[in-house]
Amino acid sequence: MILLNQAPEKGKELSYSEFLNQVTAEKVAEVTYDNVSAKITGKFKNGSEFRTTGLQPFPEPDLTLLHQHDVVLKPKTPQAGFVEQWLPVLFFPLLIMGFFVFMQRRASGQMGNIMSIGRSRAKTYSTERPGTTFADVAGYEGVKTEIREVVDFLKYPEKFGQIGARIPKGVLLVGPPGTGKTLIARAVAGEAGVPFLSVSGSDFMEMFVGVGASRVRDLFQTARKMGRAIIFIDEIDSIGRKRGAGLGGGHDEREQTLNQMLNEMDGFEATEGIVMIAATNRPDVLDPALLRPGRFDRQVVVPLPEHEERLAILRVHAKSKRISPDVDMVVVARGTPGMSGAELANLVNEAALHAVRRGGEMITRDDFEYARDRVLMGQRRESMALSEKEKELTAYHEAGHAVCATVLETADPVHKVTILPMGMALGVTQQLPQEDKHSYNQNYLEESIVVAMGGRIAERLVFGVVSTGANNDLVVSTERARKMVREWGMSDRIGPMAWGSQGQVFLGEDLMHNARDYSDDTARVIDQETERILRACEQRCVEVLTEHRNGLDLVARSLLEHETLDGAEVRRLVDLGSGAPTPPSTDTALTPYETVDAPTHQPAPLAED
């Protein structure tokens, strides 16, 4: 039995034998005996209290002793309360009932989640938060000018209504990854001072049928309640692909989501103050109905930043960094062609991390040089030790690239040559352009193939053999020569004809028919012309390195001694070997060409015009 709320015991504690002695001495007046616990409490004749513990049951001789000495005996049997009496009985039923209540609440919560699965998952950024403006977007003045009309419409809609102008319902931002498309969309909302609903294209897709369409409806209903708002859909190509091109027919969940989005865009008027902005780096896979006038009827290209834009982006990311006075951001910007805004931010952060690792207090020029090498070529492998034979072979391989790049007139200037293993490469020859360029002539392309073959030809001239280190050089050269013949019309036998690369298999357009739109005879001519270009470039490379053999030996021996050379030192050694100054480079390219001595690392391809 459970006893609760017991009162504290009072009186002097006596042993049972002492209690009997006090009874015999006629000192005890009355006694209370607990039949359950055998505890005895009582009073002396002088009024003081005592307590003791007796035997159970109370012995007959002791009971007779109490009667003989006129001690008043009060037996007591305590009764259990309601809780003490029923708690043992109700414990297990209450436990079972609690389990069922828990399961019912859990089921109702899951049912609530199922009922809310069709709600939009868009994140809402209100005007109360600090907004992003065009001042936070470095460069891209042309993009800002083109998209500023949307800001003016959201700020002053009556100005457009008076003249009868209709603002585009949708603006599609197209550009490579990392160019800041999401940042520009948020800047539009910040400039206009309206709520910004941001959602990714993948947020519309679920395993349940109809969920994507339901979320599209909820997204537009939320925007309408806000009055004027911007709906931003990132990676819209995940739900906006061409209909009827998939493997499973034309009625899958993705297409139903796209149909609902098209209907919603037709359902609101331009005067409602709702503007859709979407971003993608794959505009070629979007459904034509999504791009027609009245939906996404304006496309804004967000390209890779030019030199001045890269300089502005670097300065934005360097504001919060401790930069040494020896760092010239103009030089850093010139040495990073083809990098997006995200890659430039990563470059500055890598430089800061390297400064911390070496224990420096400021970010120096060497830190930026290290960061650029790591971003372009990978981490330096300090633990990798090359044998003397491998080191000599690598030195002549890189010297072959460097000499060809220095001698040829239209080749990009050599920035640095190293035989230190970096990333997947045993050595690297890095070229950097003097200015950005967006188109390439045939001379430049052919000489870039000559530079790529310089390492292989140098190995054959010096050692009489070729190694696997030229694998990636051959891949780059072959791909470039094939594009010259098949896509850029730089072959007299093929003439002014072009065949693009094969379509995307995931669209289902190339599975049921042959994607090649030329005959076998034409394919044979393409292969022959590709081989002709490669053979001619190889022969030219042999002639160049044979003519500058002394410069090749000097550069290789200097690499074996110093491991890393800059472009100016390479040019000095080549001039010293030939006995006459080498003509400077006069042509540049958009992206640097890197010769990497490993088949698993691919350099950035030339941008197609």
Task: Encode pLDDT of 171-182 as tens digits.
Answer: 888 888 888 888
Q: Which of 18-27, 252-261, 292-301 has the lowest mean pLDDT?
A: 252-261
Give the per-residue SS3 of 471-534. Answer: HHHHHHHHHHHHHHHHCCCCCCCCCCCCCCCCCCHHHCCCCCCCCCCCCHHHHHHHHHHHHHHH
Q: What residues contact 248, with CB distance under 8 A and at least 6 apart?
A: none
- Band of pLDDT at residue 604, cut at 50, 70 and 90: very low
Tokens of 309: 């834009």
The Cα–Cα gap between 57 and 347 comes to 92
Q: At CA 451, angle to CA 418 and CA 337, rounded to 5?
A: 70
- Band of pLDDT at residue 581, cut at 50, 70 and 90: low
Highest mean predicted confidence (pLDDT) among 10-24, 220-234, 407-421 = 407-421
- Cβ distance 127 to 227 under 8 Å? no
Q: Which of 65-69, 149-153, 221-225, 250-254 has the lowest mean pLDDT?
A: 250-254
Q: Which of 253-257, 270-274, 477-481 has the lowest mean pLDDT?
A: 270-274
Residue 117 has φ and ψ, to the nearest 5°, of -70, -25
Collapsing DSSP to helix, strand or coil, 386 comes out as: coil
> What pLDDT, on the 0 to 100 scale, is given for residue 479?
92
Collapsing DSSP to helix, strand or coil, 193 comes out as: coil
Where in the chain are the domains?
Answer: 12-76, 123-301, 307-377, 388-501+515-596
pLDDT over 80 (residue 114): no
- Cβ distance 65 to 23 under 8 Å? yes
pLDDT over 80 (residue 58): no
- Band of pLDDT at residue 528, cut at 50, 70 and 90: very high
Tokens of 376: 């372009």
Q: Give the Cβ contact number of residue 230 at 10 Å.
A: 27
- Cβ distance 93 to 51 under 8 Å? no
pLDDT over 60 (residue 126): no
DSSP β-bridge partners for residue 53 = 39
pLDDT over 50 (residue 145): yes
- Band of pLDDT at residue 19, cut at 50, 70 and 90: confident
Here the contacts of 535-542 (C-beta below 8 Å, separation 24 or greater) are 536/446, 537/446, 537/449, 537/450, 537/453, 537/477, 537/481, 538/453, 538/457, 540/446, 540/450, 541/400, 541/404, 541/450, 541/453, 541/454, 541/457, 542/457, 542/461
CB-count burial class (<10 Å; 0-12, 13-18, 19+) for 561: exposed
Cα distance between the two ends of the chain = 93
Q: Give the Cβ contact number of residue 262 at 10 Å.
A: 19
Tokens of 178: 């990392």
> What pLDDT, on the 0 to 100 scale, is given for residue 532?
93
Average of per-residue pLDDT across 540-569: 88
The mean pLDDT of the chain is 76
The answer regarding whether domain 12-76 maps to CATH 3.40.50.880 reads no
Q: What residues contact 222, with CB distance under 8 A and at least 6 apart?
A: 120, 122, 124, 197
Amino acid at 379: Q
Q: Which member of 309, 392, 398, 529 is catalytic?
A: 398
Q: What is the CATH number of domain 307-377?
A: 1.10.8.60
DSSP β-bridge partners for residue 31 = 42, 73
- Band of pLDDT at residue 506, cut at 50, 70 and 90: very low
210 vs 353, higher pLDDT = 353
Catalytic residue flag (residue 206): no
CA atoms within 13 A on the CB side of 510: 10
**Percentage of the chain modeled with pLDDT above 90:** 6
Whether omega for the bond prior to residue 57 falls within 30 degrees of 0, making it cis, is yes
pLDDT over 50 (residue 98): yes
The Cα–Cα gap between 82 and 77 comes to 16
> What pLDDT, on the 0 to 100 scale, is given for residue 478?
92
Q: Which of 79-83, 411-415, 520-524, 537-541 has the lowest mean pLDDT?
A: 79-83
The Cα–Cα gap between 372 and 351 comes to 8
186 vs 527, higher pLDDT = 527
- Band of pLDDT at residue 449, cut at 50, 70 and 90: very high
pLDDT over 80 (residue 500): no
pLDDT over 80 (residue 11): no
- Band of pLDDT at residue 268, cut at 50, 70 and 90: low
Please report where in the chains the tokens 């603006």 appear, as a residue.
Answer: 171
Collapsing DSSP to helix, strand or coil, 144 comes out as: helix
Q: What is the CATH number of domain 388-501+515-596?
A: 1.20.58.760
Highest mean predicted confidence (pLDDT) among 94-108, 406-420, 442-456 = 442-456
pLDDT over 80 (residue 467): yes
**Percentage of the chain modeled with pLDDT above 70:** 78
Four-way CATH pick for 123-301: 3.40.50.12780, 3.40.50.300, 3.90.190.20, 3.40.80.10: 3.40.50.300
Tell me, yes or no, if the pTM score tops 0.75.
no
The Cα–Cα gap between 252 and 146 comes to 36
387 vs 447, higher pLDDT = 447
